[in-house]
Amino acid sequence: MSDTPYVLVVEDDADLRETLREVLDHGGFENACVEDGAQGLQMIAERGAPRLIFLDLVMPVMDGWTFLTALRGDPRYAEVPVIVTTSAPSRAPRGVLVLQKPVTPEAIEQHVRRYMSAG
Amino acid sequence: MLARFEIDVAERPRPHDGVPLQSILDQLPAGTLLVRPDGITAEFVSASARRVLGGDGTVSALTDTALSMRTLEGLDIAPADRPVARALTGEVIEFFECELARPDGQLRILRVNATPMRDASGALAGALIAFVEITSERLAIEQSRRDADFRDIFLAMLGHDLRNPLAAILTSARLAIRRGALPAGEQKTIARIVSSGERMERMIDQILDMTRARQSGGIPLRCEPKDVAGCVTKAVEAALAERPDARVALELAEGNFVALIDSDRIEQVVAKLVGNAIVHGTAGLPVRVAVRADGASVTVSIHNHGAAITPERQRTLFDPFTRGHSPKEARSSGLGLGLYIAEHIVRAHGGAIALDSSNADGVTFSFTLAQLAEAPSA
């Protein structure tokens, strides 16, 4: 477990994942980027709760809906803020903030700053 | 419905009021035949039955257990489970759907009724079979299923597979601009990547929306009680951000403008109509956007002072992939889907877009939404 606040990105598209990592690095935000929901849960188990999660929905191995259900079902992580980044906002689960892809670097930084400072 | 009739199986075909029974059967659109207790010999085979089952009246496609008969799921049907055999054990079969092979190898799909027939003494005298051919109907259903599968794949490709790399391109290009310190030439090049990427993104959105609009489910909505005036204001601000040189007068009457809407979608409609009004209006005269409520409905209208839309153009205005022939429309970089999608969004909200156009009064697009009494959600 690490005490360093970090942002978790769960995104299966390698280029997009790398782009999001660059945006977060550029903003000076500690981050971890993984390629599916299962790796996301594994990362949380290893590093503890992230300050914020950017979550894709359609992914192989474990999709975003399943990841979110597992996260919300664990009392330790149920309150972790999640922002769904998706191409199809109408399919997003209710009760989470949804950003339609492509998300601008400004929007990403704005949200991360809000949640990082809230912690 | 399948033909159901009674027949005196003890009697042979005979003239009936001057008309032979076989002639009557031959006029029926449904196939009919009477199979004797041996399960093989058939009589009263109608012309329709001979045509569908093939052969010369021996009707082996239904009675020859050596020939294949399958369920519509493709499972073999055992001889004892076939309609003729079951009816000959006294069972009444209704609407039994199966695919059978004719002696010539051709496949036919039938919906079959089979009824045991008894003579005056109550002894089993045969099985009366009536059927309709549903090969075309089933193939159409199968084609429709394949089309739906194709649409799903197409939508997934557009919505996810194509948009993800575009998102990477746009976010990377925007990040490069944000990092700054680029030579002026490269700054311009990357700005062009962003603007072209954004154009492609709008096209993907439109094709996706058009495809959804044409599906039975239509464009999906996430409706909540919202202030329509707030949506309209945001859409006008967005339109003015795109065209800072334009003049738009926003008129909000006093009152409650709450309706059950998908606010993003209504903003999309208003932005489209305001964008069009700016393009087609008269330079120097403002586009007028008004929101009013009458206690039962909220009406949004967008007016410009441009030339009237001809009746011919009005007929196809909301059709997909249509553009007018005016120089302004010809220069448009869009797909000609904006008004088509806007109308579908309004229709999904239970309304319709109305058009009022004349050279004297200009052009007004308006739509109405059912008003809610409740306060808007936060």
Q: How many domains does chain A have?
A: 1
Subunit contact A22:B170, Cβ cutoff 8 A: no
Instruction: Give the pLDDT confidence score for residue B5 in this predicted structure.
Output: 45
Q: Among B12-16, B247-251, B280-284, name the most confident range.
A: B247-251
Subunit contact A105:B175, Cβ cutoff 8 A: yes
Which amino acid, A97? L
Cβ-nearest to A87 among B163, B175, B220: B163
User: Which residues in chain A have Cβ-Cβ distances shorter than 8 Å to B167?
Assistant: 13, 16, 19, 87, 101-103
Give the integer Cα–Cα distance in Å for B363 and B360.
Answer: 9
Backbone torsions φ then ψ of B270, nearest 5 degrees: -65, -40
If you measure CA to CA, which chain A residue comes closest to B198? Answer: A102
B148-158 CB burial, b ≥16 within 10 A, e <16: eeeeeeebeeb
Average pLDDT, whole number, for chain B? 85
Give the integer Cα–Cα distance in Å for B367 and A14.
Answer: 43
Quick one: B224-370 is in which CATH superfamily?
Histidine kinase-like ATPase, C-terminal domain (3.30.565.10)
The reply to whether B377 touches chain A by the CB within 8 Å rule is no
Phi and psi based region of residue A20 (left: phi greater than 0; alpha: psi -120 to 50; beta: remaining): alpha
If you measure CA to CA, which chain B residue comes closest to A23? Answer: B175
Query: Is A88 a member of any domain?
Result: yes
If you measure CA to CA, which chain B residue comes closest to A109? Answer: B175
The reply to whether B196 touches chain A by the CB within 8 Å rule is no
Contact residues, B window 86-115, toward A, CB-based 8 Å cutoff:
none
Subunit contact A15:B164, Cβ cutoff 8 A: yes
Contact A15, B165 (CB under 8 A): yes
Identify the CATH number of the domain in which residue A37 sits.
Answer: 3.40.50.2300
Query: Is A1 a member of any domain?
Result: no
Contact residues, B window 225-284, toward A, CB-based 8 Å cutoff:
264
ipTM exceeding 0.90, yes/no: no
Q: Are strands A82-86 and A52-55 parallel, antiparallel or unpaired?
A: parallel
pLDDT tens digit sequence for B331-350: 566 678 889 999 999 999 99
Does the structure show a pLDDT above 70 at A40?
yes
Q: For the purposes of burial, counting CB atoms within 10 Å of the CB of B29, is it exposed (0-12), middle (13-18) or buried (19 or more)?
A: exposed
Name the least confident of B75-79, B196-200, B318-322.
B318-322
Task: Determine the topology of domain B15-133 in CATH.
Answer: Beta-Lactamase (3.30.450)
Crossing angle (nearest 10°) for helices A105-118 and A14-26: 60
Q: Are strands B248-252 and B287-293 parallel, antiparallel or unpaired?
A: parallel
Contact A35, A59 (CB under 8 A): yes
Q: A22: domain range?
A: 7-118
Sequence-distant (≥ 6) Cβ neighbours of residue B325 within 8 angstroms: none
Subunit contact B179:A15, Cβ cutoff 8 A: no
pLDDT band of B369, cuts 50, 70, 90 = very high
